[in-house]
Chain A
Amino acid sequence: MRVPVVKSLAWSVIAMGQLSFSSTLAAERIEPNEWLSRMGAAVQMTSYEGTVIRIQDGKAEALKVIHTVSDGVIREKVVAQEGNGLEIIRNGNEVHCILPDRQSVLVEEWDDQSTLFSTLPTSEVRFGSEYDVSIVREERVAGRQAILVAIRPHDGYRYGHRIWLDTETAFPLQTQLIGEDGTALEQVKFADISLNKIIHASALAPSYSTENYRWLKQPARHISHVLETEWASSDIPQGFRAVATHGEILPGGDAVVTHIMFSDGLASVSVFVAPRDAAFSEGPSRVGGSNSYSAIVDGHRVTAVGEVPAMTVKQIATTMRRP
């Protein structure tokens, strides 16, 4: 599900209309949820160029980011400022990930509406009531006036979010994913940004000549069909519900894996049910900001993955049952 383009445009028009308000007045008059809806439109419609600092797992990295939308087509360039010099060039839903150290280009397809700076689902799936949303204060981020919106979970089964939105445009200048003890698990912050500037095509061109590079296409997920499954959690954490179920053949595999997507309106957890593998090991793992837990249930390997606390994936994986 995603925000229809017409709706996005409508929000954009509303957001533009707000430019005539002073930032303080705007902050006082707009409800927290409305700020989030405006953010959804802003990340889709705003052109920008800036430097992003990303902090995760104790590592900080800087990325130059250029993003523009023209005739509904998103074009982006992301350049890592250190390490292997990674460049991501996006034109619509086709994405080239240039790895200069490997002289390779990975070609991927991204969802045509997905955006770089939205960690929240579209408003249409934000049905949950497991969070409180509030405006905390105004402060400056990247030299611009911003409003801090806090999303607090009611329990320890999900993470919180802190989002600093530009008061003029509702563009997210800084986002944090907040763990159970109040620490930031992930952080993305603009060090500098220019919003709604004219971006020339040349700025979006790759910095490397990729003529002699190896071009590799990511194997596509084969989604076979929407499934009616009997698998369900007997003790799902409050607020989570299944929002999609389908069969998938993952790259490198030949068996159909049942993929059930649970969401509480903000956080999502995928559960994969596969035939038991001889080399299978039970237990928890962590990849990036995601936790996962694998368990053997009824002769199947059940794995839950999501950007939620470890106890959430464990509870979901270990309580999956088939009647």
Chain B
Amino acid sequence: MNDAIRMQISAFVDGELPDAEADLLLRRMSQDADLRKQVAEFLEIGRAMRGEPGVPGVERLQDRISAALDDKPLADDEVVPEAPAGRSMRPWLGAAVAASVALLAIIGLQFSPGIDGSNEVEPERAVADVDEDAGITVPVPDDELRQYVLSHGASSSELGANGLNTRLVTLRLSEEALAEEETEEDTVDEEATDEILTQP
């Protein structure tokens, strides 16, 4: 990736790229897996967590992440020290959650500063939301919950509100179920093979 593209991506994630150039970049992304990967890496939350420069809005995100990790609200005028480089994450579910919330925040900061396009984001509110969400994510739902999500998606569809996102999420859930099923089948096959091999 050359410097020009890098600068373009930087401006893009900063929301400063003119619409025409942003459209062009999106088109390029749609056809260039490497570029998509680069943009994804650019947005990678690990960089924010490590305090590396290069992702605009990192400072604010760090504040939010730190607040979430420390489990305390952040006052408007409170100065949050920068996370030292190489900081190891605590083995706490909340850390992963804070990361995902912060990554959403990056996307939000860059793509959707406000519902009407304004740049007004209330820091206190944002932190409160992070705190409220911290510790709630279960990455892989149990089978019953998965069935509930699928059923809800189907019912939403009956209301006419089943879009691409819902479909892909439910499809991914189906894929997970399929993978689990295959694993179980493999285990059964292996056990059966073992039985055959150990038979006198």
Residues of B124-145 at the interface with A, using a CB-CB cut-off of 8 Å, are 125-126, 129, 132-133, 136-138, 141-145
Say yes or no: A57 contacts B116, CB within 8 Å: no
Q: Are B104 and A2 neighbours in the complex by a CB distance under 8 Å?
A: no
A12 to chain B, nearest CB (A): 16
* Range of interface residues on A (Cβ < 8 Å): 35 or more
Q: Which residues of B contact A268 (CB under 8 A)?
A: 152, 155-156, 159, 161
Please name all residues of chain B whose beta carbon is closer than 8 Å to the beta carbon of A287 when the two chains form the complex. 141, 145-146, 149, 169, 173
Q: How far is the CB of B42 from chain A (nearest CB, A)?
A: 11
Question: A104 contacts which chain B residues (CB < 8 A)?
Answer: 178
Q: Are A148 and B33 in contact (CB-based, < 8 A)?
A: no
CA distance A137 to B115 in the complex (A): 12
Tell yes or no: B109 within 8 A of A by CB: yes
When the two chains form the complex, which single residue of A191, A218, A279 contacts B29, counting CB atoms closer than 8 Å?
A191
The winner among A86, A218, A221, A290 for most chain B CB atoms within 10 A is: A290
Interface residues of B in 62-94 (CB under 8 A from A): none
CB distance from B15 to the nearest CB of A (A): 12
Which B residues have a C-beta under 8 Å from some C-beta of A?
Answer: 19-20, 23, 26-27, 29-31, 33, 36, 39-40, 43, 45, 100, 103-109, 111-117, 120-122, 125-126, 129, 132-133, 136-138, 141-152, 154-169, 171-175, 178-179, 182
**Shortest 6 CB-CB distances between A and B: which pairs?**
A183-B108, A58-B103, A288-B169, A184-B112, A122-B160, A51-B30
A interface residues, Cβ below 8 angstroms from B: 1-3, 40, 51-63, 78, 81-82, 86, 88, 97, 99, 102, 104, 106, 108, 110-111, 113-122, 125, 134, 136-137, 139-143, 148, 150-152, 160, 162, 175-189, 191-192, 216, 218, 221, 243-244, 248, 250-253, 259, 261, 263, 266, 268, 270, 272, 274, 277, 279, 283-292, 294, 303, 305-307, 310-311
